């Protein structure tokens, strides 16, 4: 005859075994996958509240899966977009983004996206700190862009940024500035993504930088007449500022 104490002990043991089994099963379930496309759409909306929402989703996900390389470079991208639109400490925001892309490059070294967003954040940090820092950051920025293109020779944004880098950096012996390279990289970016208005605007600037003023102004006028321009107020503002500078 079992005593009440023995019966109670058995019950507690059975409950403990059931609890352990359920917990083990839950831990074995895959963590809910992050919808990268949804997060990227929030980032490229260029709306601060949406970008901050994307960062919250990414950081929650990375708290569970810190080795997710794609989520890491997306976090870097999100902080770059946020830094471009914040009234606060932009340098701190860009440096936070770079921390994520540094980790991404370590974890997914074959990802052109990781190298590209690392380069972009290096550039933003250099610009924010000032001209001397910008000069020191030209080489690591170019190295990251070159690596992105080694991994994907058709990675259009890398050509776009390289064009800006060659155009804005001082020439030899101070830095890598090169008018011809600025133009060739801008042309390549537009060849790969002919509908991209930002790439077209950089091509117009590179043409002007190379003394091709008529071609530059003709292209800018084409951009201004493109109905798609109205869909992005930020690019529209850039285009109009450039037109004003060129007295168009």
CA distance 216 to 143: 29
CA distance 58 to 51: 10
Q: pLDDT tens for residues 75-126?
A: 999 999 999 999 889 999 999 999 999 999 999 999 999 999 999 999 999 9
Mean pLDDT score, 126-146: 87
Query: Could you tell me the CATH number of the domain that includes residue 77?
Result: 1.25.40.10
Domain that holds residue 106: 34-153
Q: pLDDT tens for residues 188-220?
A: 999 999 999 999 999 999 999 999 999 999 999
Q: Is the pLDDT of residue 226 over 70?
A: yes
DSSP-derived letter for residue 227 is G
Q: In the chain, how many domains are there?
A: 1
pLDDT-derived band at 25 (thresholds 50, 70, 90) equals very low
Q: What is the pLDDT of residue 173?
A: 85
Mean pLDDT score, 122-146: 89
Closest C-alpha to 118, from 154, 90, 94: 94
Q: Show Cβ contacts of residue 98 under 8 Å, excluding neighbours closer than 6 positions.
A: 76, 118, 121, 122, 125
Domain assignment present for residue 215? The answer is: no
Domain assignment present for residue 127? The answer is: yes
Q: Is the pLDDT of residue 133 over 90?
A: no
Angle ∠(141,149,192) on CA atoms, nearest 5: 115
* Structure tokens that stand for 192 in this block: 């790969």
Domain assignment present for residue 131? The answer is: yes
Q: What is the pLDDT of residue 29?
A: 39
Mean pLDDT score, 138-167: 97
Q: Is the pLDDT of residue 1 over 80?
A: no
Domain assignment present for residue 38? The answer is: yes
Q: Is the pLDDT of residue 18 over 90?
A: no
Domain assignment present for residue 53? The answer is: yes
Q: Is the pLDDT of residue 27 over 50?
A: no
Q: Is the pLDDT of residue 61 over 50?
A: yes
Q: What is the pLDDT of residue 11?
A: 61
Domain assignment present for residue 135? The answer is: yes
DSSP codes of every residue in 42-74: HHHT--HHHHHHHHHHHHHHHHH-TT-HHHHHH
Domain assignment present for residue 15? The answer is: no
Domain assignment present for residue 201? The answer is: no
* Structure tokens that stand for 19 in this block: 């609890």
């Amino acid at each position: 005859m079992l005593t009440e104490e023995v019966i109670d002990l058995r019950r507690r043991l059975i409950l403990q075994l059931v609890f352990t089994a359920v917990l083990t099963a839950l831990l074995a379930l895959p963590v809910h996958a992050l919808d990268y496309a949804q997060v990227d759409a929030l980032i490229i909306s260029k709306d601060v509240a949406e970008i901050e929402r994307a960062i919250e989703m990414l950081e929650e996900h990375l708290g569970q899966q810190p080795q997710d390389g794609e989520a890491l470079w997306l976090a870097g991208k999100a902080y770059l977009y946020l830094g471009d639109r914040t009234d606060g400490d932009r340098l701190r925001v860009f440096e936070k983004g770079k921390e994520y892309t540094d980790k991404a490059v370590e974890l997914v070294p074959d990802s052109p996206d990781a190298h590209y967003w690392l380069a972009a954040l290096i550039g933003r940090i250099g610009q924010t700190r000032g001209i001397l820092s910008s000069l020191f950051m030209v080489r690591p920025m170019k190295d990251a862009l070159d690596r992105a293109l080694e991994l994907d020779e058709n990675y259009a944004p890398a050509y776009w940024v390289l064009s800006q880098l060659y155009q804005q950096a001082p020439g030899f012996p101070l830095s890598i500035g090169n008018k011809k390279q600025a133009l060739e990289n801008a042309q390549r970016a537009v060849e790969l993504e002919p509908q991209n208005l930002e790439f077209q605007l950089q091509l117009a600037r590179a043409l002007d930088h190379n003394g091709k003023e008529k071609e530059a102004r003709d292209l800018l006028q084409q951009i201004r007449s493109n109905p798609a321009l109205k869909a992005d107020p930020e690019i529209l503002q850039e285009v109009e500022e450039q037109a004003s500078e060129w007295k168009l």
